[in-house]
Amino acid sequence: PSHAAKPNEGIDALVTGAQYVTAVQTIVSRNADPMKSMVITIGKMQAGSRYNIVAGECVLEGTCRTFAPEMRDLAEKRLKEVLDGVCLLSGCTGELNYERGYMAVLNEEKMTKYMSDKIKELYGDEALVEVEPAMTAEDFSFYLNEVPGAFAWIGTTGEGEKVWPLHNSHYNPNEGVLWRGAALLTKLVLDFNK
């Protein structure tokens, strides 16, 4: 770190971190196959201790979401290469700690149809709503990597109410509908292989 009035006497980790955040966006737009989904989000940046001190350290946290394993490999490789490039440009050092978390949730077609049929039997055709693929993370992906299965969302927003996204402070599920999920799981088990 150095005094803000003499930035040449230090290496500004905050500026370098900001450059990295901007630069990694080109991984998705310029390195990834546009027909294969990828999202890279830096959701947290911590740098600096005071307004008049050049930041000596910057810590970033983010997430990478893909459906295809080869895209995950590409993201990890390019995140490291971009970090090395930004560090070379600024004269600092950096470390990438890339932890592989959940895999993509990929429902098996036969099990998806089975679950869809059981939802209709229990709650009627109007209860089944097909959703677009999403990049949300879910540990159920580990099960689906081992055995055929399907994952479903249970809507908890009341009719006519505003739908708030996950992790939003306004999200307030209607717990009165949770029994529907338990009933569905029971029916899936009792009717399996009939």
Q: Express each pLDDT in 156-179 by its tens digit.
A: 988 889 999 888 999 888 899 999
Residue 155 falls inside a structural domain: yes
The whole-model pTM stands at 0.79
13, 51: one domain: yes
18 and 64 fall within a common domain: yes
CA angle 72, 76, 80 (to 5 degrees): 165
Range of the domain at 61: 2-90
In percent, the amount of the chain with pLDDT more than 90 equals 84
Confidence of residue 136 (pLDDT cuts 50, 70, 90): confident
φ and ψ of 66, to 5 deg: -145, 165
Burial-class residue 13 by CB neighbours within 10 Å (0-12, 13-18, 19+).
buried
Q: Compute CA 154 distance to the chain's CA centroid, rounded to the nearest angstrom.
A: 19
For the stretch 32-44, pLDDT in tens is: 999 999 999 999 9
- The answer on 85 and 58 residing in a single domain is yes
Judgement on whether residues 68 and 148 belong to the same structural domain of the protein: no
Number of domains in the chain: 2
